[in-house]
Amino acid sequence: MRKPLIAGNWKMNTKLEEAERLVRDMLAELDSIGNVEKVLCPPFISLAAINKLIKGTSIELGAQNMYSEDKGAYTGEISPLMLIDLCDFVILGHSERRQYFAEIDEMINKKIGKALESGLKPILCVGESLEDNEAGRTEEKITSQVNAGLAGISPTSQLVIAYEPIWAIGTGKAATGKQANATISLIRSMLANTWNQETAKAVRILYGGSVTGSNIAEFIVEPDIDGALVGGASLKTDDFISIVRQTANLKAAR
C-alpha cells in the first residue's frame, strides 16, 4: 500500500563533476529496480545538472534544505520556487541543521508548510540524542518534534518522516530494526491521533542512521518501516544499489 522509498542524503559532499560521475555510475542499475521510489539528494549546486541526467528515468531528486519564503533579501538561502522545477522532495529539520545551524522546531514547521504549499514533498527528520535515549526520553523527544514540526499542517500523504536517532547518524552504530520499528510505529499512531487513521496509514516513515547494504534488511522487514534515509552509504555506488535492490525485493516478498 505504501511504496517503499530510499533517499540518499549526500550532505556536503561532491563537487559538481563528482556528483555527475556518481549519478552516471548508478543511473542504469538504479533505474532498472522497480517497486521502490529512489531519491537522490545532492548539494544544491548540482541539482540542475543532475536533473538533466535523470530525465526520463525513474529516479527523483530532493534538496537537503530550503528557506520558507519564495524570494527576497535572504542572502545565501534557496527558495521553494527555485527548487520546484528541479526536485520532488526536500529534506527538512535534519539533526545537523538543528545542531549546527540553530534550526528550531518553529522554523522547521514553517518550512514544512511552505514546501507542501509549493508542491514539494517534505522529508521531516526527527530523532533523539544519545543523552535523551539513555535517559529514557526518546518517546517524549520524538513526540515533541513531530507535534511541533506538524503544528497547523493539514493531513497529507505527501509528507514523509525520517526517524534518525542522532546517536546512529554517521557513527556506524545503527539502531536495531526492532528499536526503529517501535519508534516509527509510535510516530504512526501519533499521526492517527492528530490527523486521522487513513492518512497515518499512507504516510511513509523511514529509518536513518548508519544504514548500509549489510543492515538494510533488518529495517525493511519491519512492518512500519517504509524505507531509509541513507547518508554515507549513498555515496558508494555498490552499497546504495544494494540497499535499493534489497528494499525492492524484501518489500515485494511481504
The span from the CA of 65 to the CA of 30, in Å, is 24
**What's the min distance (Å) between Cβ of 147 and ligand PGA?**
22
Nearer to ligand PGA, 119 or 170 (CB): 170
Residues near 39 by beta carbon (within 8 Å), at least 6 away in sequence = 5, 6, 7, 8, 59, 60, 61, 62, 88, 89
Nearer to ligand PGA, 62 or 80 (CB): 62
Q: From its phi and psi, is residue 136 left (phi > 0), alpha (psi between -120 and 50) or beta? A: left
Say which DSSP state 139 is in.
Answer: H
Residues near 140 by beta carbon (within 8 Å), at least 6 away in sequence = 132
Active site residue 17: no
Binding site for ligand PGA (CB under 6 A): 9, 164, 169-170, 208-211, 229-233
Nearer to ligand PGA, 71 or 173 (CB): 173
The span from the CA of 63 to the CA of 153, in Å, is 21
C-alpha cell at 238: 555498490
Residues in the chain: 254
Active site residue 18: no
C-beta of residue 99 within 8 angstroms of C-beta of residue 128: no
Nearer to ligand PGA, 122 or 209 (CB): 209
**What's the min distance (Å) between Cβ of 215 and ligand PGA?**
10
In angstroms and rounded to an integer, the radius of gyration of the C-alpha atoms of the chain is 17
**What's the min distance (Å) between Cβ of 234 and ligand PGA?**
7
Give the CB-nearest residue to ligand PGA.
231
**What's the min distance (Å) between Cβ of 172 and ligand PGA?**
8
C-beta of residue 86 within 8 angstroms of C-beta of residue 124: no
**What's the min distance (Å) between Cβ of 65 and ligand PGA?**
12
Nearer to ligand PGA, 92 or 233 (CB): 233
Q: Which of 94, 103, 218, 222 is catalytic?
A: 94
Interior CA angle at 153 toward 151 and 158, to 5°?
A: 130
| Residue whose entry in the numeric block shows the C-alpha cell 514539494 | 120
Q: Which of 37, 96, 103, 164 is catalytic?
A: 164
Could you give the residue numbers annotated as active site?
Answer: 94, 164
